[in-house]
A = this chain, B = another copy of it.
Amino acid sequence: MRIALIQQKNSENIAENISKLEQNLRACAMQGAELIIFQELHNSLYFCQTEDIKNFDLAETIPGYSTRLFSNLVKELGVVTVLSLFEKRAVGLYHNTAVVLEKDGSIAGIYRKMHIPDDPAFYEKFYFTPGDLGFQPIKTSAGNLGVLICWDQWYPEAARLMALNGADLLIYPTAIGWDLSDTKDEQARQRDAWIAVQRGHAVANNLPVITCNRVGYENDLSGVTSGIHFWGNSFVFGAQGELIAQAPDNEEFNLIAEIDLSHTEKLRRIWPFFRDRRIDSFGDLTKIWKG
């Protein structure tokens, strides 16, 4: 199966961001992609660099503006597409949500980001209520999509639950970058850790892992931090943890890759991890800490 990830640099101009996404979506579909992934919060800047109530104006309903816009295009192109947007669920209730569009333009399902970060320049707890839909794959003509979002990627539990619930692949729209006040060595360690933990999910679950990150510098309008240099590096690992494709760290890129969903069953026969899980001893995974 051919897939595509659209790694993009966004500006304050939402119409322009959307226009670029439309062009990229067309270009990826022309190249035969059956499944196309957008980065986290696809149409705007990463506004969580500061806590500002004006940013709630960016939120939209599902269905709403973005889903209608891309439903039409997706239907025309016949590709399953994963959007990520700022969901306005009710007055004063917002989520960080991925929407999966089936190739006929219908909404196949949504995933609401379960793990919400909060650290300098990533003030997401101000904006997003943690998801309440659990870790349920979304059934599509391109497979059961285990869609998770950004901070979720650090949690082996999230990947495992998607696998246990029947995911055929794991997909992470994301927005992560460097603070350039860190040393080059520290920056490299952070990026490598980010890749390593997700590669680990591929191996542990015998599933492909597809991660689409944004790229380019975005200023911190509050002036508190020096802004974020989103590090790109969108990647695809196969079900054995083998690197299939990786985008550069400094430019917009449509990453096209071939994945083989039949590899999972072969792997699960030679290395049958799921046969042997000691579920009788896993109860404490539902605790925050010992005792």
Q: A155-B204, A196-B196, A196-B241 are in contact. Are A164 and B289 (CB under 8 A)?
A: yes
Min CB–CB distance A250 → chain B (angstroms)? 23
- Dominant secondary structure of chain A at its interface with chain B: helix
Enumerate A216-268 residues with CB–CB distance to B below 8 Å.
240-242
Closest B residue to A279 by CB, please name it. Answer: B286
Range of interface residues on A (Cβ < 8 Å) = 35 or more
Binary CB contact string for chain A from 256 to 291 against chain B (1 if under 8 A, 0 otherwise) = 000000000000001111101111011111111110
Map CB proximity to B onto A110-127 as digits: 1 under 8 Å, 0 otherwise: 000011110100000000
Given A192-B242, A240-B189, A273:B154 Cβ within 8 A:
yes
CB neighbours of A285 from chain B (8 A): 157, 160-161, 164, 279, 282, 285-286
Q: State whether B277 touches A157 (Cβ < 8 A).
A: yes
Closest 8 CB pairs of A and B: A200-B200, A156-B156, A197-B203, A193-B241, A193-B203, A196-B241, A196-B199, A165-B290
Q: What are 17 A-B residue pairs whose CB atoms fall within 8 Å in the complex?
A: A115-B277, A151-B276, A154-B203, A154-B204, A156-B157, A157-B277, A161-B282, A164-B284, A164-B289, A190-B240, A192-B242, A193-B203, A193-B240, A199-B200, A274-B289, A279-B285, A285-B285
